[in-house]
Structure 1
Amino acid sequence: MRRPEAATPGVAPPANPQVLHGEPGGRAISGWRRFAAALALVSNGVLSALAHAQQPIVTEADVERARRDQPTITDEDIERARARYGQLPVEMPAASPRAPNLDALPVPLQDSAIDLGAVAEGYRLQAPVPAGLDEGPVLYLFVSLSMPEPALRRIIAQAAQARATVLIRGMSGGSLRQTAARLQALIGPHPVSIQIDPRPFEQFDIQRVPAFVLARPSANADCAGGSCPSGAAFVRATGDVSLDYALAHVQRTAPAWGPAAGMYLRRLEGRE
């Protein structure tokens, strides 16, 4: 004889199991299957409650007991370990490079912009003064930066050798910086006096370059009113020729200026 199954508390099996049919072709669900699902839910709830009930509760006494069980390291323990194992090496952090103190840098006396005009004037004043300025007639060479560079280099080199003065009417492109750079490239190692001044071009009536002028020291006073009277105050030679050729031409055509022209010729030849 079959023994009846024990009923789960709180869940009663259905008295008359019925089979529910769904739509045509669907799967039937019995009442016993519903009963089994409800039984599983109840069992899970009971197990979860038992698990929560079995978890231990940590009290303040447990915390204090655990703190007392921890070992305490005293100064004697540290000294004993140091005596046994020695002093451990201690790595000191590398000193980071110090940034420069900008406030300690020297401060210039003035922070105004550089006056290129004043610099050029200073160079002009420091340029070697032609020896003939106080001794006799002065030799001027009038040129233009638009002249061919080989001709400019030749004239500047000869002016340095004869200790003459090179005169330029104006600046190259209207720029003092550009003019200074161009002149520096042309001068090179030659110590020569170069002046940028349009007034001598008017005083000696220079219409073409290169031009060569021998003038007496009093010519500037004689030319105060504008152009200078030719003959007694100065003598001029014009043409694309060398300085020694122009001086020899002055010796032949203006005998009164022959001694001065001869002095500069001797300088060119290295005899004076």
Structure 2
Amino acid sequence: MNQYPCGVLIAASIACSVSSIAWAQAVLPSDGDMRVARQRMEEALKGMGPARIANPLSVPKTDALPKPVAKSPDISQIAESYRHASSPRSEIPSDIPELMVFVSFSMPKEALERIVAQSEKSGAVLVLRGLKGNSLSRMGEELAALVGKRNVTAIIHPPAFKQFKVAQVPALVIARSGQATKIGEDGCAAPASYIKVDGDVGQDYALDLIERQAPNWAEAARRYAARLAGPRP
């Protein structure tokens, strides 16, 4: 005989008794019988205990979840970290064209150090193409080692290399910011909006060359050259 919970058997017997009324004139159970049956059913249900879920869903504890990794600093933050309030650029009138020197960490260390030292005097902005070894932290370390405590602005801006057609470094560029930002379909600035000197030469030589050979840029070159030379004794 199959074993069923007592409550199920009692409920089935009551159902059979009630359904048999439609087919035969069976005697209905008395109130006492109904109370006894109900009591037995309640006792049987109590004995079965509370219902359980076979595979209950577990809610993960939020404090056990891995913590998010600290947000990586933006590239611009690296550049800003080397932008000092006392930089010579703060003394350059806004209407003067921008002086930039395009460099790379692939250049000899001595050449980079010379450019940094000259840029501190002239107010030139150092422009790099990308990250050293594709590592943001390594680039920060390299910039810190290169710039040190000098008042020099260094930025990482790959589009500028195409904008001013810089194919080799170092390259010195003087650009009119208002015009140079108007990029053509080829991604380059208008030729008349900037002037460029390629080659590993000092800023004094490049500025002197521009002053002598490019009348439209002579005034800007002369101002930056004066800053580079410093006050006369």
- Which of 165, 176, 187 aligns to 1:205? It is 165
- Paired position in structure 1 for 2:63: none
* Superposition TM-score, scaled by structure 1 size: 0.55
Distance 1:116 1:220 in 2: 31
- Paired position in structure 1 for 2:190: 229
2:145 is equivalent to residue 185 of structure 1: yes
Secondary structure class of the residue paired with 2:99: strand
- Which of 60, 76, 83 aligns to 1:121? It is 76
Q: 2:78, 2:140 within 8 Å by CA — same for their partners in 1?
A: no
> 1:224: how far off?
5.8
**Aligned residues: percent identity?**
34
- Paired position in structure 2 for 1:173: 133
Q: 2:181, 2:189 within 8 Å by CA — same for their partners in 1?
A: no
Give the gaps of 5 or more residues in structure 2: 1-66
The 1:223/1:176 distance shift into structure 2, 3 A limit, reads same
> 1:221: how far off?
3.0
Q: 1:134, 1:217 within 8 Å by CA — same for their partners in 2?
A: no
- Which of 178, 191, 196 aligns to 2:156? It is 196
| Count of matched residue pairs | 160
Which amino acid in the other structure matches residue 95 of structure 2? E
Q: Deviation string for 1:6-58 (max 9, x for gaps)?
A: xxxxxxxxxxxxxxxxxxxxxxxxxxxxxxxxxxxxxxxxxxxxxxxxxxxxx
Q: Which runs of 4+ in 1 moved over 2 A?
A: 111-118, 120-126, 128-133
> 1:138: how far off?
0.3
Secondary structure class of the residue paired with 1:218: helix
> 1:133: how far off?
6.8
* RCO comparison, higher one (Cα < 8 Å, 6+): 2
- Paired position in structure 2 for 1:95: none
- Alpha-carbon RMSD across the aligned residues, in angstroms, is 2.1
Q: Deviation string for 1:209-237 (max 9, x for gaps)?
A: 1000000021343226410121x200000
The 1:133/1:116 distance shift into structure 2, 3 A limit, reads farther
Distance 1:234 1:215 in 2: 4
Distance 1:160 1:114 in 2: 33
Give the gaps of 5 or more residues in structure 1: 1-110
Distance 1:156 1:250 in 2: 20
Distance 2:205 2:72 in 1: 37
Bigger-Rg structure (1/2): 1
Distance 2:202 2:215 in 1: 20
- Paired position in structure 2 for 1:255: 215
Distance 2:96 2:184 in 1: 20
Secondary structure class of the residue paired with 2:201: coil
Distance 2:93 2:153 in 1: 13
* Superposition TM-score, scaled by structure 2 size: 0.63
Deviating more after overlay: 120-129 vs 197-206: 120-129
